[in-house]
Structure 1
Amino acid sequence: MKNTLVFVAATLLLSGAYAQSRSQEAAPQFRSRPQLVAESLKSAKPRGIVQLNDGSTAAGAGSGVMKFGQAALKGQQFADAREARPHQLALQGGTPQ
């Protein structure tokens, strides 16, 4: 009985040490196929900054130029039309009757 208990304890101890030593974090794989593919794709990218021919930054970013779409312009027209109509400001103190 005592021998069995010692054998089980030794087995658990060794299996725990084996499981910890075989983890990816403890022994990372260097130069695996996905890593080689990613490195080749990274090295295939062109180096440097691409010059724009029109003299502006991409999509007006950082230049203070804002480009509004058709939906934004139409929404602003509707908002201006709403504000132009006469209306009474809401009064505090409950629901008007």
Structure 2
Amino acid sequence: MKTTLVLTATSLLVSGAYAQSQLQEAAPQFNSRPQIVAESMKDARPRGFVPINDGSTANGAGSGVMKPGKAALTGQHYADAREARPHRLPLQGGTPK
């Protein structure tokens, strides 16, 4: 019984070591087709200056300057049109009957 337990533990230890040596990360495949294509695309990118939007300028991300979109402008147009129509101010004293 003792030898069976020792043999089982040894076989588990050896099989675990063998399984860990076969990982993709341990031995990456160089010069595979996808890697060659990715490297060629990386090399084909134009070199040069790329502006960084870190929020330090008025147009940068996170600067607090809002750029309204089409929906926001349309909504503001409708709100302005509602305010331009003549209307009566509510009288003091509660809900009208």
- For normalisation by structure 1, the TM-score amounts to 0.54
Other-structure match for 1:3: 3
Question: 1:1-97, aligned counterparts within 5 Å?
Answer: 1-48=1-48, 62=59, 69=70, 71-85=71-85, 86=87, 87-88=89-90
Q: Which moved more, 1:40-49 or 1:3-12?
A: 40-49
How many residues align? The count is 78
AA matched with 1:20: Q
- CA RMSD of superposed structures (Å): 3.5
Instruction: State the alpha-carbon separation in 1 of the partners of residues 16 and 47 from structure 2.
Output: 48
Instruction: State the alpha-carbon separation in 2 of the partners of residues 36 and 20 from structure 1.
Output: 27
Percent of residue pairs identical: 63
Other-structure match for 1:53: none
Which ranges of structure 2 fall in alignment gaps of 5 or more residues?
Answer: 50-58, 60-64
Instruction: State the alpha-carbon separation in 2 of the partners of residues 25 and 12 from structure 1.
Output: 22
AA matched with 2:19: A
Q: Which moved more, 1:76-85 or 1:2-11?
A: 76-85
- For normalisation by structure 2, the TM-score amounts to 0.54
Per-residue deviation, residues 7-66 of structure 1 (Å, max 9, x unmatched): 1111100111112222223333333221111001121233336xxxxxxxxxxxx4x9x6
Structure 1 position 3, deviation (Å): 2.5
Which ranges of structure 1 fall in alignment gaps of 5 or more residues?
Answer: 50-61, 89-95
Instruction: State the alpha-carbon separation in 2 of the partners of residues 8 and 67 from structure 1.
Output: 69
